[in-house]
């Protein structure tokens, strides 16, 4: 089986020591879940959705339960998914009160003639699809309440916005039929305006998948990623003959030099090559291939273990 799954848990300025082990376990669980889906004959789309659901359900990550809070202390989430077979794609933005926005993005892809639903329309579509709502407070964690308070106190101090607000979760996969896919999901940026939409649900910024080139999921400062179309830009460099690593370095380097924007990417192609790159201080990631699971959080801390 040539299948691969790669996941990320968001670019981050720093991850405290006490969170590191929980973050590592969460990212490994997501990659293992995606890989098992492929092993059991699931598609690349099934695998990226399954991996992202694990991260949306894990309060350590900025997506689903664990999303950062907007200026009013509420959770508003963005997500997108794409199949490299035929460029099918689905996205939702500014959704509230659902546990797994990535499931809704997949339903947009598969059950509507559209690519992208937002706000009220997305909520009505979720209800029509029988997706249960959850009380908004159920997605709010104590850590994010404190983060919002701190952000409001520190506003304008310390680091510029594009160097600290970096969380997202995502996955890319290649299945045994040679199809690639990506999924990306986020709560966005802490203290964001109500209705702010980031890069994550925007095809070409939050991710892209084309069987002829590969699949990519991005993380980092949303406004910077949108301005450079980070996902499609990276794949453009691959189309021009660059390796996955070279392409990622070029596009992340461009975003940093143009905008001082930091972020990260995960990539896979139909040959089964994969890459992880980031310019933020850290980016939890894991990759499963050939029965091995590779993972890391910071530079030079890669672990490799056998998958069960």
* Both structure tokens of 90: 């689905």
Q: Is there binding between residue 220 and ligand GLY (CB under 6 A)?
A: yes
- Give dist(CA 11, CA 166) in Å, integer: 5
From 32, 33, 168, 279, active-site residue:
168
Build a one-symbol-per-residue string for 277-306: x at contacts with ligand GLY by CB under 6 A, - elsewhere.
------------------------------
Question: Mapping DSSP to helix (H, G, I), strand (E, B) and coil, where does residue 18 land?
Answer: helix
The values of phi and psi at residue 239, to 5°, are -60, -30
Q: Which residues face 185 on adjacent strands?
A: 79, 169
- Give dist(CA 110, CA 112) in Å, integer: 6
Residue nearest to ligand GLY (CB): 222
Q: β-pairing, 116-118 with 89-95?
A: parallel
Q: Please select the residue that binds ligand GLY; options are 56, 58, 151, 199, rule is CB under 6 A.
A: 199
Q: Is there binding between residue 189 and ligand GLY (CB under 6 A)?
A: yes
Phi and psi based region of residue 220 (left: phi greater than 0; alpha: psi -120 to 50; beta: remaining): left
Q: Whole-number minimum distance, CB 182 to ligand GLY, in Å?
A: 14
Q: Is 168 a catalytic residue?
A: yes
User: DSSP letter at 273?
Assistant: -
Q: Taking the CB of residue 308, how many other CB atoms lie within 10 A of it?
A: 7
Q: Is there binding between residue 222 and ligand GLY (CB under 6 A)?
A: yes
Q: Is there binding between residue 198 and ligand GLY (CB under 6 A)?
A: yes
Q: Please select the residue that binds ligand GLY; options are 33, 168, 211, 217, rule is CB under 6 A.
A: 168
Q: Whole-number minimum distance, CB 187 to ligand GLY, in Å?
A: 8
Residue 167 sits at the vertex; the CA angle it makes with 150 and 242, to the nearest 5 degrees, is 145
Angle of helix 17-39 versus helix 44-56 axis, rounded to 10: 150
- Give dist(CA 251, CA 253) in Å, integer: 5
Q: Whole-number minimum distance, CB 222 to ligand GLY, in Å?
A: 2
Q: Whole-number minimum distance, CB 37 to ligand GLY, in Å?
A: 25
Q: Whole-number minimum distance, CB 8 to ligand GLY, in Å?
A: 11
200 vs 279, beta carbon nearer ligand GLY: 200
The residues that are catalytic are: 168
Residues forming contacts to ligand GLY in the complex (CB under 6 A) are: 168, 186, 188-189, 198-200, 219-220, 222, 225
């Amino acid at each position: 089986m040539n299948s691969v799954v790669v996941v990320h848990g968001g670019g981050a300025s720093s991850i405290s020591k006490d969170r590191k082990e929980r973050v590592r376990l969460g990212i490994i669980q997501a990659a293992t879940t995606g890989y098992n889906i492929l092993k059991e004959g699931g598609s690349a789309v099934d695998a990226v959705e399954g991996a992202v659901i694990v991260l949306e359900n894990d309060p350590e990550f900025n997506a689903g339960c664990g999303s950062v809070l907007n200026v009013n202390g509420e959770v508003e989430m963005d997500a997108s998914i794409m199949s490299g077979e035929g460029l099918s794609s689905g996205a939702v933005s500014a959704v509230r009160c659902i546990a797994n926005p990535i499931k809704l993005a997949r339903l947009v892809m598969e059950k509507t003639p559209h690519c992208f639903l937002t706000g009220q329309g997305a909520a009505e579509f979720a209800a029509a699809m029988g997706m249960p709502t959850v009380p908004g407070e159920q997605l709010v964690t104590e850590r994010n309440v404190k983060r919002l308070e701190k952000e409001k106190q520190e506003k304008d101090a310390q680091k510029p916005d594009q160097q600290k607000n970096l969380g997202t979760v995502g996955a890319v996969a290649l299945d045994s039929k040679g199809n690639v896919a990506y999924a990306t999901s986020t709560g966005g940026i802490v203290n964001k305006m109500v209705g702010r939409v980031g890069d994550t649900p925007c095809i070409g910024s939050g991710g892209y998948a084309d069987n002829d080139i590969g699949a990519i999921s991005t993380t980092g400062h949303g406004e910077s990623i949108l301005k450079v179309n980070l996902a499609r830009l990276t794949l453009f460099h691959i189309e021009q003959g660059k390796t996955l690593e070279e392409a990622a370095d070029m596009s992340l380097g461009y975003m940093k030099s143009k905008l001082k924007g930091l972020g990260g990417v995960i990539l896979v192609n139909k040959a089964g090559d994969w890459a992880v790159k980031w310019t933020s201080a850290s980016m939890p990631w894991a990759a499963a291939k050939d029965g091995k699971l590779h993972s890391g959080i910071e530079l030079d801390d890669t672990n490799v273990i056998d998958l069960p």
